[in-house]
């Protein structure tokens, strides 16, 4: 036994063992079980019968599913672009020395740190149909609007409101990681480019940005995967409404499985994320490899 | 002369400080609004005449309502105990796996690292449907042990990834010296390398605790019954039942439930920042 623990290779397997077993039982096995369930008519409390591709055919025929796919893509794409731009602005801004910089960095990270469930409750109060502070200020105090904004009650507004909260929460994450990457860029190269006559704008886009690009890509991919699988925001703010305008993959799968009891159908919904997810994971692996090679 | 230069500099910086203030307002105002609303009387909450940005008659009635809600203390305890248990499980397993991946040479170490990264990317959405069936088969669905088993599925990949990065940067020489002096490999690791990696281990623990505290999907899908709930699904269930929202107690609940994380963050800001940047940028 002592010999096994002393040898590098056997100790390696012993140390990896618990993690490997855990992830195999709690992640790999459920994954294959989900593939199996998606080919069955499994309902809550009933036995599963193999039905082949029936669940997938059923999904393709429903409005709910096509809306789920479109919503998820719109939500992820808009949120990603906005978080990316906002994160870049935040990173450049916080990178410049100013009075109270440390405090600002700590405070600006709060939307990302604070529990999503509870900060989203505050947003649901801010978006209140009758007592929204935004509407009160815009209509009552500033007289900029005459009609209240239907934040969560009109389809387009509801999607926009959800995206806004996702961006609000995610921008600090993008900002802090981008800032860490910017700080890794050598100041000597930047100064050299200044001497060569480049202005701030040019040296940012020609030197800093290409150098932080690997990190930018990894952060964006990780965030894309998280956003695509988001459950908390649509569940807490809209329950997928109005008219299924804000339901995403996870909420649709949740509703079908736990509210309606169609486990097979719910599993099929999560499986339809798989092709997109695989592409994102492969892209992440490639960019992490590149980052390592640098 | 000096003064003039100073004020000119300050003047040029005005747009920057204006931008800074606007960003700060956008990011932080929601917390302020939630907190201020929690201090108001029920009818003042809906009153936007006068100085609605302050609580003119601040009181803790909403907090009384919150703590008078059945099971709330149990939910606090559940959330705390589950977060501690899952953190202990995840960090122990991750320290072992992260060390092996970063520092031991054996066949499959590189593949193990890649697999951990892939599991880190798998969203919770992907597994909650089959996990519910599996937990049901084991007789655990509805109970807290279902969370002890499922939360580590998203904690272990992140912590292992983070910790293998830390271990890779801890120098090898002290451990090797101890072994030359006759220590066994295990005692050299435990006594020399683990203490040197302590900042990373603390970061991993804080992240695990926070992530467990914040989790909603698995809590909603896997536990039920008043006494088994976590703060997240418990509070969501009570206050968002039907169309009537009691906004005062709800804002009090949001404030109180976020407080432990806020305190943790206040003491460990740098750990949070290094965890986030390491998690995102480490190759």
| ipTM confidence score | 0.91
Identify which has the larger pLDDT, A127 or B282: A127
Mean pLDDT score, B9-37: 90
pLDDT tens for A119-178 read 999 999 999 988 889 998 998 888 888 888 999 999 999 999 999 999 999 999 999 999
pLDDT band of residue B4 (cuts 50, 70, 90) is low
Q: Which two tokens stand for residue B37?
A: 């609303």
Chain A residues within 8 A of B16 when measuring between CB atoms: 93, 96, 98
Flag the least confident range among A243-257, B14-28, B169-183, B241-255: B241-255
Contact A27 B119 (CB under 8 A): yes
Local structure of residue B54 (DSSP, 8 states): S
Residues A51-61 pLDDT 10s? 989 999 999 99
B77 CB neighbour count, 10 Å cutoff: 12
Per-residue CA distances from A76 to A222, A277, B128, B243 (Å): 12, 13, 21, 29
As a whole number, mean pLDDT of residues A273-284 equals 90
Taking residues A33-49, report their average pLDDT.
89
Find, in chain A, the residue whose alpha carbon is nearest to that of B120.
Answer: A222
Chain B residues closer than 8 Å to A183 by CB: none
Is the minimum CB–CB distance between A106 and chain B shorter than 8 Å?
A: yes
Burial status of residue B76 (CB atoms within 10 A of its CB: 0-12, 13-18, 19 or more):
middle
Counted residue by residue, chain A has a size of 294
Residue A162: half-sphere exposure toward Cβ, Cα within 13 Å: 33
Mean per-residue pLDDT, B189-199: 90
Is the backbone peptide bond immediately before B62 cis, with ω within 30 degrees of 0? Answer: no
Q: Indicate if the alpha-carbon torsion angle A259, A265, A271, A276 is positive or negative.
A: negative
d(CA A255, CA A262): 9
Q: Which residues of A touch B158 (CB under 8 A)?
A: none
The band of B283, judged by pLDDT with boundaries at 50, 70 and 90, is very low
- Average pLDDT, rounded, for chain A: 90
Q: Is the pLDDT of residue B256 over 90?
A: yes
**Separation of CA B167 from chain center:** 22
Residue A291 touches chain B, beta carbons under 8 Å: yes
**Helix or strand run (H / E) with residue B173:** helix B173-180
Q: Which of A2, A30, A112 sits opposite B127 (nearest CB)?
A: A30
pLDDT over 50 (residue B24): yes
Residue A162 in tokens: 């959800």
Please enumerate in sequence order all residues whose Cβ is within 8 A of that of A123, keeping only pairs 6 or more positions apart, or say none.
A165, A237, B30
Q: Looking at the predicted structure, is the pLDDT value of residue B8 above 50? A: yes
pLDDT at A211: 86
Q: How far apart are the first and last CA of chain A?
A: 41
* Chain A residues in contact with B253 (beta carbon < 8 A): 118, 121
Contact A236 B240 (CB under 8 A): yes
pLDDT, mean over chain B: 88
* Minimum distance, in Å, between the CA of residue B100 and any CA atom of chain A: 5
- Encode pLDDT of B58-76 as tens digits: 899 999 988 988 889 999 9
Distance of CA B106 to the CA centre of its chain: 33
Of B48, B123, B258, the CB nearest to A114: B258
Q: Which among B101, B129, B217 has CB closest to A34?
A: B129
Least confident of A117-126, A201-210, B6-15, B118-127: B6-15
Q: Are A229 and A249 in contact (CB under 8 A)?
A: yes
Specify whether the CB–CB gap between B96 and B186 falls below 8 A: no
Q: Which of A16-30, A198-212, B268-282 has the lowest mean pLDDT?
A: B268-282
Residue entry with tokens 């203390």: B73
Nearest by CB to A12, from B46, B106, B152: name it: B106
User: How many CA atoms within 13 Å lie on the side-chain side of B205?
Assistant: 13
CA distance B75 to B180: 52
Q: With 90 as the cut, is the pLDDT of residue A214 above it?
A: no
Nearest chain B residue to A86, by CA: B23
Collapsing DSSP to helix, strand or coil, B242 comes out as coil
Residue A211, CA atoms < 13 Å, CB-side half-sphere: 16
CB B151 within 8 A of CB A55: no
> Measured between alpha carbons, how far is B14 from A180 in angstroms, rounded to an integer?
25
pLDDT at A2: 63
pLDDT at residue B280 greater than cutoff 80: no
Bridge partners of A50? A40
Residue pair A22/B203 in contact (Cβ under 8 Å)? The answer is no
Q: Is A292 on the interface with B (CB under 8 A)?
A: yes
Per-residue DSSP letter, B223: B
Question: Mean pLDDT throughout B26-52?
Answer: 90
- In chain A, residues with a C-beta closer than 8 Å to the C-beta of B107 are 9
Encode pLDDT of B232-252 as tens digits.
999 888 766 655 568 888 999
Cβ neighbours for B211, distance < 8 A, ≥ 6 positions apart: B151, B154, B155, B158
Arithmetic mean of pLDDT, A12-21: 93
Model pLDDT for residues B203-238, shown as the tens digit of each residue: 999 999 999 999 999 999 999 888 889 999 998 887
- Predicted local confidence at residue B236, as pLDDT: 86
Residue A252 CA to residue A268 CA, distance in Å, equals: 11
Q: Which of residues 110-129 of A touch B (CB under 8 A)?
A: 110-119, 121-126, 128
A35 or B6, greater pLDDT: A35
Question: How many angstroms separate the CA of residue A61 from the nearest CA in chain B?
Answer: 22
Residue percentage of chain B with pLDDT more than 90: 51
In chain A, residues 242-271 whose CB comes closer than 8 Å to chain B? 249-250, 253-254, 257-258, 263, 266-267, 270
CA nearest neighbour of A24 among B123, B140, B153: B153
As given in the structure block, the two tokens for residue B132 are 């519910």
B19, A86 in Cβ contact below 8 A?
no
Q: Could you tell me which residues come within 8 angstroms of residue B53 by beta carbon, excluding any fewer than 6 positions away?
A: B36
Max CA separation in chain A (angstroms): 80
Over residues A197-211, mean pLDDT: 86
DSSP chain A: -HHHHHSHHHHHHHHHHHHHHHHIIIIIHHHHHHHHHHTB---TTS---B-TTHHHHHHHT-HHHHHHHHHHHHHHHHHHHHHHHHHHHHHHHHHS--TTHHHHHHHHTHHHHS-HHHHHHHHHHHT-TTT-HHHIIIIIIS---SS---TTTSHHHHHHHHHHHHHHHHHHHHHHHHHHHHHTS-HHHHHHHHHTT--HHHHIIIIIHHHHHHHHHHHHHHHHHHHHT--HHHHHHTTT-STTTT--HHHHHHIIIIIS--HHHHHHHHHHTHHHHHHHHHHHHHHHHHHHH-
């Amino acid at each position: 036994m002592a010999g096994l623990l002393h040898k590098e290779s056997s100790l390696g397997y012993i140390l990896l063992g618990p993690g490997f077993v855990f992830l195999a039982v709690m992640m790999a096995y459920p994954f294959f079980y989900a593939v199996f369930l998606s080919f069955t008519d499994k309902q809550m409390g009933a036995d599963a019968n193999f039905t082949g591709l029936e669940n997938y055919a059923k999904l393709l025929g429903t409005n709910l599913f096509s809306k789920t796919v479109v919503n998820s893509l719109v939500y992820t794409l808009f949120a990603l672009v906005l978080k990316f731009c906002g994160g870049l602005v935040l990173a450049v801004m916080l990178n410049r020395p100013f009075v109270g910089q440390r405090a600002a960095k700590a405070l600006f990270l709060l939307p990302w740190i604070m529990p999503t469930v509870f900060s989203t409750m505050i947003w649901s109060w801010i978006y209140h149909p009758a007592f929204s502070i935004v509407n009160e200020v815009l209509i009552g105090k500033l007289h900029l609007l005459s009609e209240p904004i239907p934040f969560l009650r009109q389809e387009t507004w509801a999607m926009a409101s959800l995206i806004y909260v996702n961006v609000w929460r995610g921008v600090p994450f993008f900002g802090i990681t981008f800032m860490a990457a910017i700080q890794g860029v050598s100041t000597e190269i930047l100064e050299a480019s200044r001497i060569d006559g480049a202005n701030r704008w040019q040296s940012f886009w020609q030197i800093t940005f290409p150098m932080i690009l690997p990190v930018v890509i990894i952060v964006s991919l990780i965030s894309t995967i998280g956003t695509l699988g988001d459950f908390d925001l649509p569940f807490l703010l809209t329950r997928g409404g109005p008219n299924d305008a804000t339901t995403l993959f996870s909420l649709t799968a949740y509703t079908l499985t736990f509210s309606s009891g169609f486990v097979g159908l719910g599993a099929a919904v999560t499986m339809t994320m798989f092709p997109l997810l695989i592409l994102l994971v492969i892209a992440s692996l490639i960019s992490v490899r590149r980052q390592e090679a640098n | 002369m000096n003064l003039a230069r100073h004020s000119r500099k300050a003047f040029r910086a005005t747009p920057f400080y204006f931008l800074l203030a606007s960003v700060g307002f956008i990011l932080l105002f929601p917390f302020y609004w939630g907190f201020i609303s929690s201090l108001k009387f029920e009818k003042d909450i809906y009153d936007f005449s006068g100085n609605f940005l302050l609580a003119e008659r601040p009181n803790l009635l909403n907090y009384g309502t919150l703590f008078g809600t059945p099971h709330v203390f149990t939910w606090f305890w559940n959330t705390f105990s589950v977060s501690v248990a899952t953190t202990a499980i995840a960090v122990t397993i991750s320290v072992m796996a992260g060390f092996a991946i970063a520092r031991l040479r054996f066949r499959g170490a590189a593949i193990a690292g890649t697999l951990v990264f892939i599991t880190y990317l798998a969203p919770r959405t992907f597994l909650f449907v089959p996990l519910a069936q599996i937990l049901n088969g084991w007789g655990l669905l509805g109970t807290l042990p279902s969370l002890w088993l499922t939360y580590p599925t998203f904690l272990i990949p992140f912590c292992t990834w983070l910790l293998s990065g830390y271990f890779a940067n801890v120098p090898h020489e002290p451990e090797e010296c101890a072994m030359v002096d006759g220590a066994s490999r295990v005692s050299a690791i435990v006594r020399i390398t683990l203490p040197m990696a302590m900042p990373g281990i603390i970061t991993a623990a804080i992240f695990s605790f926070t992530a467990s505290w914040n989790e909603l999907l698995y809590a909603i899908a896997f536990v039920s019954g008043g006494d088994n709930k976590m703060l997240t699904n418990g509070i969501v269930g009570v206050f968002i039942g039907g169309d009537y929202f009691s906004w005062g107690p709800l804002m009090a609940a949001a404030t109180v439930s976020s407080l432990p994380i806020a305190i943790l963050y206040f003491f460990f800001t740098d750990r949070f920042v290094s965890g986030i940047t390491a998690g995102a940028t480490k190759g």
